Structure 1
Protein backbone atom coordinates (compact mmCIF):
# COMPACT_ATOMS: atom_id res chain seq x y z
CA UNK A 1 0.00 0.00 0.00
CA UNK A 2 1.52 3.29 -1.02
CA UNK A 3 1.35 6.47 1.03
CA UNK A 4 -1.31 8.19 -1.09
CA UNK A 5 -3.71 5.28 -0.69
CA UNK A 6 -3.04 5.14 3.03
CA UNK A 7 -3.63 8.86 3.55
CA UNK A 8 -6.75 8.79 1.37
CA UNK A 9 -8.20 5.95 3.45
CA UNK A 10 -7.27 7.79 6.63
CA UNK A 11 -8.93 10.98 5.37
CA UNK A 12 -12.10 9.12 4.47
CA UNK A 13 -12.10 7.35 7.85
CA UNK A 14 -11.85 10.67 9.65
CA UNK A 15 -14.69 12.06 7.56
CA UNK A 16 -16.85 9.04 8.45
CA UNK A 17 -16.05 9.69 12.13
CA UNK A 18 -17.16 13.31 11.75
CA UNK A 19 -20.38 12.33 9.98
CA UNK A 20 -21.32 9.67 12.52
CA UNK A 21 -20.58 11.84 15.56
CA UNK A 22 -22.31 15.02 14.33
CA UNK A 23 -25.87 14.18 15.50
CA UNK A 24 -24.79 13.36 19.05
CA UNK A 25 -22.46 16.34 19.37
CA UNK A 26 -25.08 18.73 17.97
CA UNK A 27 -27.72 17.54 20.44
CA UNK A 28 -25.26 17.73 23.34
CA UNK A 29 -24.45 21.32 22.34
CA UNK A 30 -28.08 22.37 22.07
CA UNK A 31 -29.05 20.63 25.32
CA UNK A 32 -26.12 22.24 27.13
CA UNK A 33 -27.07 25.69 25.84
CA UNK A 34 -30.72 25.26 26.80
CA UNK A 35 -29.91 24.00 30.29
CA UNK A 36 -27.29 26.72 30.78
CA UNK A 37 -29.75 29.40 29.71
CA UNK A 38 -32.38 27.95 32.04
CA UNK A 39 -29.91 27.95 34.93
CA UNK A 40 -28.88 31.55 34.22
CA UNK A 41 -32.48 32.72 34.08
CA UNK A 42 -33.61 30.94 37.24
CA UNK A 43 -30.36 31.12 39.28
CA UNK A 44 -30.56 27.38 39.97
CA UNK A 45 -27.01 26.00 40.21
CA UNK A 46 -27.66 22.29 40.58
CA UNK A 47 -25.00 20.02 39.05
CA UNK A 48 -27.41 17.21 38.17
CA UNK A 49 -29.57 19.66 36.24
CA UNK A 50 -26.81 19.99 33.64
CA UNK A 51 -25.88 16.31 33.51
CA UNK A 52 -29.18 14.41 33.43
CA UNK A 53 -31.01 16.22 30.59
CA UNK A 54 -27.91 16.24 28.41
CA UNK A 55 -27.31 12.54 29.02
CA UNK A 56 -30.95 11.71 28.26
CA UNK A 57 -30.85 13.72 25.02
CA UNK A 58 -27.62 12.01 23.95
CA UNK A 59 -29.02 8.54 24.66
CA UNK A 60 -32.23 9.28 22.74
CA UNK A 61 -30.35 10.64 19.70
CA UNK A 62 -27.91 7.74 19.81
CA UNK A 63 -30.82 5.30 19.83
CA UNK A 64 -32.51 7.10 16.92
CA UNK A 65 -29.38 7.45 14.79
CA UNK A 66 -27.90 4.03 15.52
CA UNK A 67 -29.06 2.64 12.17
CA UNK A 68 -27.51 5.53 10.25
CA UNK A 69 -24.22 5.16 12.11
CA UNK A 70 -24.12 1.42 11.53
CA UNK A 71 -24.88 1.75 7.81
CA UNK A 72 -22.22 4.44 7.41
CA UNK A 73 -19.52 2.44 9.19
CA UNK A 74 -20.38 -0.85 7.46
CA UNK A 75 -20.41 0.90 4.08
CA UNK A 76 -17.01 2.44 4.76
CA UNK A 77 -15.49 -0.89 5.75
CA UNK A 78 -17.07 -2.83 2.88
CA UNK A 79 -16.22 -0.26 0.22
CA UNK A 80 -12.85 1.02 1.45
CA UNK A 81 -11.06 -1.11 4.02
CA UNK A 82 -11.89 -4.67 2.94
CA UNK A 83 -10.94 -4.12 -0.75
CA UNK A 84 -7.57 -2.75 0.42
CA UNK A 85 -7.03 -5.80 2.61
CA UNK A 86 -7.99 -8.23 -0.15
CA UNK A 87 -6.05 -6.34 -2.80
CA UNK A 88 -2.82 -6.52 -0.92
Structure 2
Protein backbone atom coordinates (compact mmCIF):
# COMPACT_ATOMS: atom_id res chain seq x y z
CA UNK A 1 0.00 0.00 0.00
CA UNK A 2 1.45 3.32 -0.97
CA UNK A 3 0.99 6.65 0.75
CA UNK A 4 -1.60 7.99 -1.67
CA UNK A 5 -4.03 5.14 -1.03
CA UNK A 6 -3.49 5.36 2.73
CA UNK A 7 -4.14 9.10 2.94
CA UNK A 8 -7.11 8.91 0.58
CA UNK A 9 -8.68 6.20 2.72
CA UNK A 10 -7.94 8.18 5.87
CA UNK A 11 -9.51 11.31 4.36
CA UNK A 12 -12.60 9.36 3.37
CA UNK A 13 -12.85 7.79 6.85
CA UNK A 14 -12.65 11.22 8.49
CA UNK A 15 -15.36 12.53 6.16
CA UNK A 16 -17.61 9.58 7.07
CA UNK A 17 -16.98 10.30 10.76
CA UNK A 18 -17.98 13.94 10.25
CA UNK A 19 -21.13 12.97 8.35
CA UNK A 20 -22.15 10.46 11.03
CA UNK A 21 -21.55 12.78 13.99
CA UNK A 22 -23.00 15.96 12.46
CA UNK A 23 -26.69 15.43 13.39
CA UNK A 24 -25.96 14.67 17.03
CA UNK A 25 -23.46 17.51 17.39
CA UNK A 26 -25.87 19.98 15.79
CA UNK A 27 -28.67 19.00 18.15
CA UNK A 28 -26.35 19.19 21.16
CA UNK A 29 -25.25 22.68 20.08
CA UNK A 30 -28.80 23.92 19.52
CA UNK A 31 -30.07 22.42 22.78
CA UNK A 32 -27.11 23.78 24.76
CA UNK A 33 -27.47 27.30 23.40
CA UNK A 34 -31.24 27.40 23.89
CA UNK A 35 -31.05 26.03 27.44
CA UNK A 36 -28.19 28.42 28.25
CA UNK A 37 -30.25 31.32 26.93
CA UNK A 38 -33.23 30.17 29.01
CA UNK A 39 -31.02 29.94 32.12
CA UNK A 40 -29.57 33.39 31.49
CA UNK A 41 -33.00 34.95 31.02
CA UNK A 42 -34.57 33.34 34.09
CA UNK A 43 -31.48 33.27 36.36
CA UNK A 44 -32.06 29.57 37.03
CA UNK A 45 -28.69 27.86 37.56
CA UNK A 46 -29.68 24.22 37.86
CA UNK A 47 -27.13 21.71 36.51
CA UNK A 48 -29.68 19.02 35.66
CA UNK A 49 -31.63 21.54 33.58
CA UNK A 50 -28.68 21.63 31.20
CA UNK A 51 -27.81 17.95 31.17
CA UNK A 52 -31.10 16.06 31.00
CA UNK A 53 -32.77 17.82 28.01
CA UNK A 54 -29.52 17.78 26.02
CA UNK A 55 -29.04 14.04 26.55
CA UNK A 56 -32.71 13.40 25.77
CA UNK A 57 -32.52 15.34 22.52
CA UNK A 58 -29.32 13.56 21.52
CA UNK A 59 -30.88 10.15 22.23
CA UNK A 60 -33.89 11.02 20.08
CA UNK A 61 -31.70 12.19 17.22
CA UNK A 62 -29.52 9.09 17.55
CA UNK A 63 -32.58 6.86 17.40
CA UNK A 64 -33.92 8.69 14.33
CA UNK A 65 -30.59 8.72 12.46
CA UNK A 66 -29.36 5.22 13.33
CA UNK A 67 -30.24 3.86 9.88
CA UNK A 68 -28.38 6.72 8.17
CA UNK A 69 -25.30 6.16 10.33
CA UNK A 70 -25.30 2.40 9.80
CA UNK A 71 -25.82 2.77 6.06
CA UNK A 72 -22.90 5.18 5.72
CA UNK A 73 -20.56 2.93 7.71
CA UNK A 74 -21.56 -0.21 5.81
CA UNK A 75 -21.11 1.58 2.48
CA UNK A 76 -17.68 2.81 3.50
CA UNK A 77 -16.51 -0.61 4.59
CA UNK A 78 -18.00 -2.56 1.68
CA UNK A 79 -16.79 -0.16 -0.99
CA UNK A 80 -13.48 0.92 0.50
CA UNK A 81 -12.01 -1.11 3.31
CA UNK A 82 -12.98 -4.71 2.48
CA UNK A 83 -11.79 -4.53 -1.18
CA UNK A 84 -8.55 -3.01 0.04
CA UNK A 85 -8.06 -5.88 2.52
CA UNK A 86 -8.93 -8.44 -0.15
CA UNK A 87 -6.40 -6.84 -2.49
CA UNK A 88 -8.65 -6.01 -5.41
TM-score, normalized by the shorter chain, greater than 0.5: yes
Report the Cα distance in structure 1 between the residues aligned to 2:21 and 2:64, rounded to whole angstroms.
13
Deviation string for 1:18-68 (max 9, x for gaps)?
Answer: 000000000000000010000001000000000000000000000000000
- Secondary structure of the 1:45 match is coil
- CA drift of 1:69 comes to 0.1
- CA drift of 1:11 comes to 0.3
Report the Cα distance in structure 1 between the residues aligned to 2:36 and 2:6, rounded to whole angstroms.
43
RMSD, matched Cα: 0.8
2:81 matched residue in structure 1: 81
Q: Which runs of 5+ in 1 are unaligned?
A: none
1:45 matched residue in structure 2: 45
- Secondary structure of the 2:45 match is coil
**TM superposition score normalised by structure 1:** 0.98
Aligned length: 88
**TM superposition score normalised by structure 2:** 0.98
